[in-house]
């Protein structure tokens, strides 16, 4: 099977949640470039949807924490394209917060966005995918925080750990018609990198990553293409680490970089 065929998504339909900017937009563009029809959704309308090579994603506003809204955006994608082959649950995130004082409302919102919304959207997508020839693929974008929480991320880390567990449970229930996989994403260089990692856009923290750099959004996007294509047709319930090797343990990092705190 040639390379062009392996990554050719012509005639396939893809829904990318949180796909209007950052990592989600990169994932949407990767599928567009591979020939797929793509719909992205978000809580705010972008200045322009993701596009590449003269092809543009469709957009629908949606707050996926509402199960009705999650079902509606899946229905919209299936109606627009006539099918739904791939769902990428990318929407998520959280600001840091002190676990000792954080409000119940904050915790509920973080869990709803990072765990419940992907669950609701996957449920709706499964109803479409299981009835069509070829089934479908659900890809959940997770975080290294699910495996190694950092201070200030208690609610987020718990929700992301739940997303990994959800992936494995859905993979068991929905096979063989619908494959469900998880990507553990590490530090990604997006337009928000300066706010998260300082003015060096991550250069200051790249030294603790074995690969010596932050992930580019396309690193994660290409992993999505692989998990969605026929090359991974036997892969379900997997956790694919796209984190450059994780983080070098502090006792070794200090030895290699004496200036690190």
* Active site residues per annotation: 156
244: region left, alpha or beta (phi > 0 left; psi from -120 to 50 alpha): left
Q: How far is CA 183 from the centre of its chain?
A: 7
State the CB neighbour count (10 A cutoff) for residue 237.
16
């Amino acid at each position: 099977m040639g390379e062009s065929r392996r990554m050719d998504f012509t005639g396939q339909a893809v829904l990318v949640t949180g796909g209007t900017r950052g990592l989600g937009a990169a994932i949407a563009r990767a599928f567009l470039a591979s020939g797929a029809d793509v719909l992205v959704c978000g809580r705010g309308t972008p200045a322009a949807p993701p596009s590449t090579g003269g092809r543009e994603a469709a957009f629908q506003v949606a707050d996926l924490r509402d199960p009705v809204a999650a079902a509606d955006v899946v229905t919209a994608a299936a109606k627009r394209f006539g099918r739904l082959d791939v769902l990428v649950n990318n929407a998520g995130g959280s600001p840091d917060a002190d676990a000792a004082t954080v409000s119940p409302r904050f915790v509920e919102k973080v869990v709803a966005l990072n765990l419940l919304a992907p669950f609701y959207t996957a449920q709706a997508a499964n109803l479409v995918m299981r009835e069509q020839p070829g089934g479908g693929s659900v890809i959940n974008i997770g975080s290294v925080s699910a495996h190694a929480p950092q201070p200030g991320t208690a609610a987020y880390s718990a929700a992301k750990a739940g997303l990994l567990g959800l992936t494995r449970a859905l993979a068991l229930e929905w096979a063989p018609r619908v494959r469900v996989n998880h990507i553990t994403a590490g530090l990604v260089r997006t337009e928000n990198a300066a706010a998260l990692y300082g003015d060096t856009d991550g250069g200051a923290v790249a030294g603790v990553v074995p690969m010596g750099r932050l992930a580019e959004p396309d690193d994660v996007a290409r992993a999505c293409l692989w998990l969605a294509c026929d090359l991974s047709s036997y892969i379900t319930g997997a956790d694919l680490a796209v984190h450059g090797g994780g983080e070098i343990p502090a006792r070794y990092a200090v030895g290699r970089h004496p200036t690190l705190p």
